[in-house]
Amino acid sequence: MRALILSALAILLTATPAIAQDAEHKPGLLDVNPGLMFWTLVIFAGLMFVLSKYAFGPITAAVEAREAALEEAINAAKLDREQAAKLLEQQRQQIEAARNDAQRLIADGRVAGEKLKSEMLEETRAQQQELLDRARREIQAEKERAIAELRTEAVDLAIAGASRVIEKNLDDKANRQLIESFLASLDKAKR
């Protein structure tokens, strides 16, 4: 501020002799008027003093406060951004963990499903085999019963035929034993 006042005074002092020589000259737009210049400098210095005393301090303090508030807001924004980045990374990790868990559960479900499927197929095959075995046993039993019935009929027919041929009546029990032993020997020969 002192430098400004000193430079204004220096300009005034250097311009004063030139103006004094040109007193006869009509004042123009670019002519220097020492009286006007003096009062302009006095008003400027007074205004500068008043502004520096009462205005520049509060204005500077307000600007510095604003600057501090902006700096604090920038720092808070940086901190918030860092926290948001950390939270985002945590969320990504949790999503990835959940995705991995879901994939593992799906794989476990597939394995369990395949195991259950194979167990059910095995059980079905076992039941089917059991049904086939039972059906074969029943067919075999029915076959043996039918063969036994045919033998009985064949024995009865043979006895009846032999009785007529021989016309001698032997007792039925002896004839039956004789024919059954003959048929059993035939059955053994076939095997």
Spatial distance between the Cα atoms of 39 and 29, rounded to a whole number of angstroms: 18
What's the predicted TM-score (pTM) here? 0.38
For residue 181, the model assigns a pLDDT of 79
Spatial distance between the Cα atoms of 1 and 48, rounded to a whole number of angstroms: 8
For residue 190, the model assigns a pLDDT of 61
Query: Domain map of the chain by residue range?
Result: 148-190
For residue 26, the model assigns a pLDDT of 65
Can you state the angle between helices 2-21 and 34-50, rounded to 10 degrees? 170
For residue 127, the model assigns a pLDDT of 92
For residue 95, the model assigns a pLDDT of 94
Spatial distance between the Cα atoms of 42 and 188, rounded to a whole number of angstroms: 154
What are the two backbone dihedrals, phi and then psi, of residue 30, each rounded to the nearest 5 degrees? Answer: -100, 5
What does each of the 191 residues of the chain score in pLDDT, given as a tens digit? Answer: 666 667 766 776 665 555 455 555 566 677 777 888 888 899 999 998 888 888 888 888 999 999 999 999 999 999 999 999 999 999 999 999 999 999 999 999 999 999 999 999 999 999 999 999 999 999 999 888 888 888 787 777 777 666 656 655 456 777 777 777 777 776 676 65
Interior CA angle at 28 toward 19 and 18, to 5°?
A: 15
As given in the structure block, the two tokens for residue 136 are: 């074969």
For residue 15, the model assigns a pLDDT of 57
As given in the structure block, the two tokens for residue 49 are: 């003093």
